[in-house]
Amino acid sequence: MLQLSNFPINTLKSTPNGSDNTSTWLLLQWWYIRQEMAGVYSFLPIGLRVLRNIENIVREEMDNAWYHEVLMSVITDKSSWDITGRWNMDVMFHVPAHDDKQYSINPTNEETVVPMMKEFLQSYKDYPTCVYHIQKKFRNEKRAKSGLLRGREFLMKDAYSFHIDDEEFSDFYESVKQVYVKIFERLWVGSDTYETVADGGDFTDKYSHEFQTVLPIGEDDIYICSWCRLGHNKEVVQGDFVCTRCDSKEFDLKQASEVGNIFPLETKFSKPFEVEYTDKDNKMVDRVLMGCYGIGISRLMWVIAEYSATEKWILWPESIAPASHYIIVIGEDNIENAFELAGKLESEWKTVILDDRMGRKDWFGQKAADCELWGIPNRIVISPKTLEQGGYELLQRGQEPTIEKL
Ligand SMILES: [Zn+2]
> Are 398 and 285 found together in one domain?
no
CA angle, 210 as apex, 204 and 213 as ends, to 5°? 170
Contact 195, 256 (CB under 8 A): no
Question: Residue 360: what pLDDT?
Answer: 63
**What is the pLDDT, as a whole number, of residue 102?**
96
Rounded Cα distance between 49 and 26, Å, is 16
Same domain, 328 and 258: no
- Are 274 and 168 within one domain? yes
Residue 138 · residue 95 · CB < 8 Å: no
pTM (2 decimals)?
0.94
1: in domain: no
Query: Which pLDDT score is estimated for 204?
Result: 75
Domain region containing 72: 22-223+254-308
Nearest by Cα to 331 from 384, 281, 392: 384
The CATH number given to whatever domain includes residue 338 is 3.40.50.800
Ligand 1 geometric centre to CA of 241 (Å) = 10
* CATH number of the structural domain spanning residue 170: 3.30.930.10
Max CA-CA distance within the chain?
Answer: 81
Q: Are residues 179 and 258 in the same domain?
A: yes
DSSP, collapsed to helix, strand or coil, labels residue 194 as strand
Q: How far is the CA of 242 from the centre of ligand 1 (A)?
A: 8
Neighbouring residues of 37: CB distance < 8 A, sequence distance ≥ 6: 152
Report the separation in Å between the CA atom of 175 and the middle of ligand 1, taken as the mean of its atom positions.
20
* Number of Cβ within a 10 Å radius of residue 111: 25
Query: Could you tell me if residue 344 is inside a domain?
Result: yes
Dist. CA 184 → ligand 1 center (Å): 21
pLDDT at 135: 97
Whole-number pLDDT of residue 11: 65
Predicted local distance difference test score (pLDDT) of residue 18: 58
Pair (50, 151) in one structural domain: yes
Same domain, 334 and 216: no
Among 308, 341, 376, the domain-final residue is 308
Question: Is residue 157 located within the same domain as residue 66?
Answer: yes
Per the CB < 8 A criterion, the answer to whether 235 and 269 are in contact is no
Alpha carbon distances (Å) from 362 to 142, 212, 359, 389: 46, 44, 5, 21
The count of domains in the chain is 2
Distance 328 CA to ligand 1 centre (A): 51
In a domain, 248, yes or no: no
Give the list of residues 6+ apart from residue 235 with CB closer than 8 angstroms, or none.
198, 199
Co-location of 219 and 87 in the same domain: yes
| 202 within some domain | yes
Cβ-based neighbours of 312, under 8 Å, separated by 6 or more: 26, 372, 373
Residues with Cβ within 8 Å of residue 185, at least 6 apart in sequence: none
**Amino acid letter, 209:** H
- The residue among 273, 308, 343 that closes a domain is 308
Alpha carbon 135 to its chain centroid, in Å, reads 11
The answer to whether residue 49 sits within a structural domain is: yes
How much distance in Å is there from the Cα of 244 to the middle of ligand 1? 7
Distance 224 CA to ligand 1 centre (A): 8
Alpha-carbon distance 282 to 393, whole Å? 71
3-state SS assignment for residue 370: helix
| pLDDT score for 245 | 96
Verify that 213 and 298 share a domain, yes or no. Answer: yes
Q: Supply the pLDDT for residue 16.
A: 65
Dist. CA 107 → ligand 1 center (Å) = 34
Classified as helix, coil or strand, 150 is strand
- Output the CA 225–ligand 1 centroid distance in Å: 5
Which residues, in sequence order, are CB contacts of 402 under 8 Å at separation 6+? Answer: 393, 394
pLDDT at residue 6, rounded to an integer: 87
**Separation of 230 CA from ligand 1 center, angstroms?**
6
- How high is the mean pLDDT in each 10-residue block of the chain (406 residues)? 85 63 87 89 95 98 98 97 95 93 96 97 97 96 77 95 97 98 97 95 84 94 97 94 96 97 96 97 97 97 92 90 96 93 96 88 82 94 95 95 94
Domain identity same for 301 and 346: no
| Backbone dihedral region for residue 296 (phi beyond 0: left; psi -120 to 50: alpha; all else: beta) | beta
Q: Which residues of 359-391 are buried (b: 16+ CB within 10 A; e: fewer)?
A: eeebeeebbbebbbbbbbbbbbbbbeebbeeeb
Residue 10 located in a structural domain: no
Residues 32, 89 share a domain? yes
What gap in Å lies between CA 114 and CA 269, rounded to an integer?
Answer: 7
CA distance 189 to 180: 11
Q: Has residue 94 been placed in a domain? A: yes
Does the residue 99 lie in any domain?
yes
Q: Which residue, of 281, 308, 335, is where some domain finishes? A: 308
**Residue 232 Cα to ligand 1 middle (Å):** 10
What is the whole-number distance in angstroms between the Cα of residue 252 and the centre of ligand 1?
Answer: 11
Q: For residue 305, which of 152, 165, 147 has the smallest C-alpha distance?
A: 147
Helix H or strand E encompassing 107: none
What's the pLDDT at 314? 92
- In sequence order, the 6+-apart residues with CB closer than 8 A to the CB of 330 are 362, 364, 381, 382, 383, 384
Residues 37 and 109 grouped into a single domain: yes
